[in-house]
């Protein structure tokens, strides 16, 4: 008997990284899983997004846990794609109980140097895309009088950091959206919460733009040099330089198995790191 037997979860950005870890954590508790991911690179970003092969791999790993799974290519910025993916989930699985609005991207520049394209891409993805997925699932959750929504914000929305003005504005926005939605659905059996992870060891953290921002004195810094820099800065919490995706999944599981008493809250997991004017 799993804690989520009979539940259906819809997870955005689920092809890899934290989304994949959350899919496996919820599946291990018996939930059927729909993983939605754009699986397409974004021109303004200096690192790759997930691939359709990674999405298929997540589906396979979930199915190996003995539950049903489906992968959907969906850009969370696109209203029609989001609405179709949610409608398809309900048509195939008969319900939709859990939304993990997890997808997200990062880009680095000071406010002064941020282009319109970079600003719009980050806000459209990390804030508007979260809004669109939450909006899409609410009618069904109200009908069911049951829903658990967790949106992924960031410790950047608790501590802030330079070079991330658009990212941090979006992540603060997610917290405002979550708190507002939680009030609007209070009494309908739906909870809405935000999680704020510090750095997590995924492709959003291990990529060339991140190495460059941490090691501005080095030409083409490598992952090894970046990791050395994290040690030099004593980055992180209690000697842990960055979280594993599964560290975040444990908090997600706590929030989605709660019986309805935790809503409009923000769960912080790990420090972003010492603010030394870098990240």
Ligand X SMILES: NC(=O)c1ccc[n+]([C@@H]2O[C@H](COP(=O)([O-])OP(=O)(O)OC[C@H]3O[C@@H](n4cnc5c(N)ncnc54)[C@H](O)[C@@H]3O)[C@@H](O)[C@H]2O)c1
Q: Could you say which of 118, 121, 125, 191 contacts ligand X (CB under 6 A)?
A: 125
Q: Could you say which of 22, 103, 132, 140 contacts ligand X (CB under 6 A)?
A: 103
Residue 105 in contact with ligand X, rule: CB under 6 A: yes
Answer yes or no: are the C-beta atoms of 86 and 137 closer than 8 Å. Answer: yes
Residue 129 in contact with ligand X, rule: CB under 6 A: yes
Residue 205 in contact with ligand X, rule: CB under 6 A: yes
| Token digits of residue 122 | 């980050």
Nearer to ligand X, 14 or 221 (CB): 14
* CB-based closest residue to ligand X: 104
Nearer to ligand X, 83 or 203 (CB): 203
Residue with tokens 């690192």: 47
The helix/strand/coil state of 148 is strand
- Residues forming beta bridges with residue 98, ordered by sequence position: 9, 148
Q: Interaction with ligand X in 221-260: which residues (CB under 6 A)?
A: none
Q: How far is residue 174 from each of residues 54, 154, 199, measured CA to CA in Å? A: 26, 9, 18
Radius of gyration of the chain (CA): 18
DSSP 8-state code for residue 258 = S
Nearest 5°: phi and psi at 205? -105, -40
Q: Could you say which of 58, 154, 191, 249 contacts ligand X (CB under 6 A)?
A: 154
Answer yes or no: are the C-beta atoms of 199 and 273 closer than 8 Å. Answer: yes
Answer yes or no: are the C-beta atoms of 34 and 136 closer than 8 Å. Answer: no
Q: What is the set of active-site residues? A: 167
> Smallest gap, in angstroms, from Cβ of residue 5 to ligand X?
26
Q: Interaction with ligand X in 35-74: which residues (CB under 6 A)?
A: 37-38, 49-50, 74
Binding site for ligand X (CB under 6 A): 12-13, 15-19, 37-38, 49-50, 74-77, 102-105, 125, 129, 152, 154, 197, 199-200, 202-205
């Amino acid at each position: 008997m799993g804690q989520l037997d009979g539940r259906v979860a819809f997870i955005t950005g689920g092809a890899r990284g934290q989304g994949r870890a959350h899919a496996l954590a919820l599946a291990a508790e018996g939930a059927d899983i729909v993983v939605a991911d754009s699986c397409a690179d974004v021109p303004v970003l200096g690192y790759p997004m997930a691939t359709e092969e990674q999405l298929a791999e997540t589906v396979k790993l979930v199915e190996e846990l003995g539950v049903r799974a489906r992968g959907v290519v969906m850009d969370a910025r696109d209203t029609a794609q989001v609405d179709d993916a949610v409608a398809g989930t309900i048509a195939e699985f008969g319900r939709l109980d859990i939304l993990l609005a997890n997808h997200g991207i990062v880009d680095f520049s000071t406010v002064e140097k941020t282009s319109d394209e970079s600003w719009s891409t980050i806000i459209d993805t990390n804030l508007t895309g979260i809004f669109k997925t939450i909006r899409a699932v609410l009618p069904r959750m109200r009908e069911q009088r049951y829903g658990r929504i967790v949106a992924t914000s960031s410790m950047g929305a608790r501590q802030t950091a330079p070079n991330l003005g658009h990212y941090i504005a979006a992540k603060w926005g997610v917290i405002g959206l979550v708190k507002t939605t939680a009030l609007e659905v209070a009494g309908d059996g739906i909870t809405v919460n935000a999680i704020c992870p510090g750095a997590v060891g995924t492709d959003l953290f291990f990529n060339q733009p991140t190495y460059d921002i941490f090691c501005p004195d080095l030409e083409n810094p490598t992952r090894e040099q970046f990791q050395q820099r994290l040690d030099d800065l004593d980055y992180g919490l209690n000697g842990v330089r960055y979280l594993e995706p599964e560290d975040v999944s444990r908090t997600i599981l706590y929030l989605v198995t709660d019986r309805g008493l935790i809503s409009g809250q923000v769960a912080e997991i790990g420090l972003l790191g010492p603010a030394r004017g870098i990240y």
